[in-house]
Amino acid sequence: MNPSPEKFFYSGTRKEITEHAAALIIAEAYRAVADHGRFSLVLAGGNSPRPLYRHLAQGVSIELLQHYELKVPDCDLKSNGKILSLPENTWLFQGDERCVPSDHPDSNFRMVHETLLLQSGIPENHFFRMPTDKANTEKGAREYEATIRNFFLASASIDEQEFPLFDLIVLGLGDDGHTASLFAGNTEALQEKTKWVVAVSAPEAKPPGKRLTLTLPAINHARNVMFFTTGAPKAELAKKIFLEETGPLPAALVSPVNGKLFWFSDHQ
């Protein structure tokens, strides 16, 4: 485990955590673009992030950024009424995906497309979809890793341990403490030290089946990692994980090497 990262826990109503998380992501996007010309954002699947992605697509007001004391470089925060959307140079990736067709109700791509892509104006070619239509899921994992590698090699944004430096990764939390498609029962995937993307079988997942997922090293080298989780049972688990009061659940193994860790959890 990495030494404890700089970490923050925010709880509130679903509306409050959604607004706050969206504002933080957009502020970080402008900081990343000002710093290195682009913003790389990894999106969680499942259902919890739906309101967050819809809010990102709408953009956030200057007042909201000011309310959460979030600075945005080169932006006149006094221009009240102004709405800030994700900057043009935003690039989207998936943290994990179920191996189903992209129009399947269980497809994370379909959920992201409906809630964010269609409304946000982000060009389709700025979204790198996990290739889950391959009969050989390992081939899909290797292909997606190559996609990420090409993206980061173009700007030498790979740290000395050869891992991608995503600007921000959004993760969800399962009732059993899984995150992305890293499940406690899959020690091989959890112990992966070099690959960035792996194919897993998740018979106990909801929905069960084959999946592609980022690995812990790929997640833990991000500049920022954000758990966004809703619902009472998870609120308690989220707090326990944050306080390091659980065993080595997959979500508890998320500990950014050099980045910051944010938890957003609504209380019931």
Binding site for ligand 6PG (CB under 6 A): 44-48, 95-96, 98, 108, 172-174, 178-181
Taking the complex as a whole, how short is the minimal distance between the CB of residue 82 and ligand 6PG, in angstroms?
A: 31
Nearer to ligand 6PG, 31 or 192 (CB): 192
Taking the complex as a whole, how short is the minimal distance between the CB of residue 112 and ligand 6PG, in angstroms?
A: 11
Nearer to ligand 6PG, 47 or 161 (CB): 47
Contact of 77 with 66, CB cutoff 8 Å? yes
Taking the complex as a whole, how short is the minimal distance between the CB of residue 219 and ligand 6PG, in angstroms?
A: 11
Q: 179: which DSSP letter?
A: B
Nearer to ligand 6PG, 151 or 183 (CB): 183
Nearer to ligand 6PG, 70 or 226 (CB): 226
DSSP-assigned states of every residue in 9-70: EEEE-HHHHHHHHHHHHHHHHHHHHHHHS-EEEEE--SSTTHHHHHHHHH-EEHHHHHHTT-
Taking the complex as a whole, how short is the minimal distance between the CB of residue 80 and ligand 6PG, in angstroms?
A: 34
H or E stretch at 105: none
Nearer to ligand 6PG, 96 or 192 (CB): 96
Contact of 115 with 50, CB cutoff 8 Å? yes
Question: Closest Cα to residue 4, out of 266, 255, 259?
Answer: 255
Nearer to ligand 6PG, 64 or 254 (CB): 254
For ligand 6PG, the nearest residue by Cβ is 172
d(CA 4, CA 68): 24
CA 121 and chain centroid, separation: 19
Taking the complex as a whole, how short is the minimal distance between the CB of residue 77 and ligand 6PG, in angstroms?
A: 32
Taking the complex as a whole, how short is the minimal distance between the CB of residue 170 and ligand 6PG, in angstroms?
A: 9
SS3 162: coil
Nearer to ligand 6PG, 70 or 253 (CB): 253
The tokens 């980045």 sit on which residue?
A: 259
How many CB atoms neighbour CB 236 within 10 A?
13
Taking the complex as a whole, how short is the minimal distance between the CB of residue 98 and ligand 6PG, in angstroms?
A: 6
Using CA atoms, how far residue 239 sits from 65, 173, 177, 267, in Å, is 25, 12, 12, 11
